[in-house]
Chain A
Amino acid sequence: MSYEKRFDGRSFDEFRPVEIKVGVIPRADGSAMFKIGKTVAIAGVKGPRELHPAHRRDPEKAVLNVYYDMVSFSTPDRVRPGPDRRDTELSKVIREALEPALLLDKFPYAGIDLFVYILQANAGTRCAAISAASLALAHAGIPMRDLVSAVACGKVGDKIVVDLTKEEEDYEEGATDVPIAIMPRTRKITLLQMDGSMTPEEAKEIVRKGIKACEKIAELQREALKSVFEGGNNE
């Protein structure tokens, strides 16, 4: 059966309403909240600062530590507090999505700690995490060659869609989830994963649409960063 109309009525290329706030954690060196639909991610950055343990220090650049975790009330069924294997993998994946954009060689031997929590999960969590994290790092003043913007695209039934909801991910006729992250200015992909199956032609189309959606998200991220110092003060 064909997926004709999206559950929430969106068009196939439309992502859910996005809300961004930069500077939500006053004590962090940088912070941001990224909300897309019902998915909410909050990122906080401390650093550059002393890196422990000492054997992890890199004489050529700072080491980025990413700690991704979902809070216990983020999902309909309570998730046990603390990182699980998925969180550990996502921490790595998020780090690898952000590192290409960062100029870490300015802080040799140092560490940059990035904490990103999912306060509410309705699919697209790692993408929301990446988008929030990129803003938090920019807010902290970590030099970077570009922001990183992310969105989860894919296939629901036979239709290619942008920004899947949990309902769409669980579509009984099958769905494929393709999280994508890019550095928007150069459109270079820093994250590309697939959970499901697709043909090579579908892959091209999904990536093409994903990049377009990420570019739009990047524009929202830029506005949010500017608004820290323009008009409304977000602290």
Chain B
Amino acid sequence: MSEVYVKDRELVVPGQVIAKGIDFIPSSGTVREGDSVVATMLGLAHQKNKIMRVIPLVGPYFPQVGDQVIGRISSVGFSGWMVDIGTPYPASLSVRDAVGEYVDLQKTDITKFYDYGDLIVAKILYISKGGNIRLSMKGPIYRKLKGGKLIKITPSKIPRLIGKQGSMVNLIKTRTKCLIIAGQNGWVWISGERRNEIAAAKVIAMIDEESHTTGLTERVEATLKKLMGDNNEL
């Protein structure tokens, strides 16, 4: 007998049975226990066909190959760097994956490219079976981020911050006239006039807290209007 016990986007807690039936497929945020599908995270239950999952409202970053992430150089090696991206262990970035030109490692000090403490935007190239993460910066958008402000939000809220086709983040970018780059790891970089950076940060924090609610876009628009003054630009 198949039955789903929760409504779509209902808030569930770990241990809560969300469906019963062997034909349901437990996806992320759930686990199969006997013939039940049980939530493993605090979040919103979601069903697509027979696939049950829980969209977490809390929790660490689960890295996936292809993710765009923001990181901080945490150590400099001979042929590459270690980068803190908020996972339990730092990711590695080798010179080969970071720099387009030929680098003679015997003669070059790679800190001329990236040094300890630098903020970068990169892509996850590969995750080994043991969990080692390799990054790549090959591509026009991947670069060092100078200046600006870095804020960290719950990684699972990044999709809401970006919005459908980037609608939410573009709204904030145009109204605050700031550059905003969001990493799937929950790290968000903002760059613009100091006052505007602060306004953008406030709005992003609001999305972090309220991502699970409805009518968020309207409230974000209203808050932006209040913080930035009435702006005729859209």
**Footprint of B on A, CB under 8 Å?**
29-30, 47-51, 59, 62, 101, 103, 106-111, 138-147, 183-186, 218, 222, 225-226, 228-230, 233, 235
Contacts and interface: CB of A to CB of B under 8 A. Distances in A.
Interface of B: 11, 13-17, 29, 31, 33, 38, 40-42, 56-60, 62, 88-89, 130-131, 209, 212
Contact of B11 (A62, A140, A229): A229
A83 to B, nearest CB: 25
* Chain A contact residues: helix, strand, loop or mixed: loop
B115 to A, nearest CB: 22
Given A108-B131, A147-B14, A138 B42 contact: yes
A140 B41 CA distance: 9
A59 B42 contact: no
A143 B188 CA distance: 25
A184 B38 CA distance: 13
A233 B31 contact: no
A146 B14 contact: yes
A108 B13 contact: no
Contacts of A109: 88-89, 130-131
B205 to A, nearest CB: 11
Nearest to B212: A229
Contact of A139 (B16, B31, B42, B130): B42
A230 B210 CA distance: 10
B14 A143 contact: yes
A108 B130 contact: yes
B8 to A, nearest CB: 16
Contact of B15 (A49, A62, A142, A147): A147
A140 B56 CA distance: 11
Nearest to B86: A49
B89 A50 contact: yes
A222 B12 CA distance: 9
Nearest to A49: B88
A203 B13 CA distance: 32
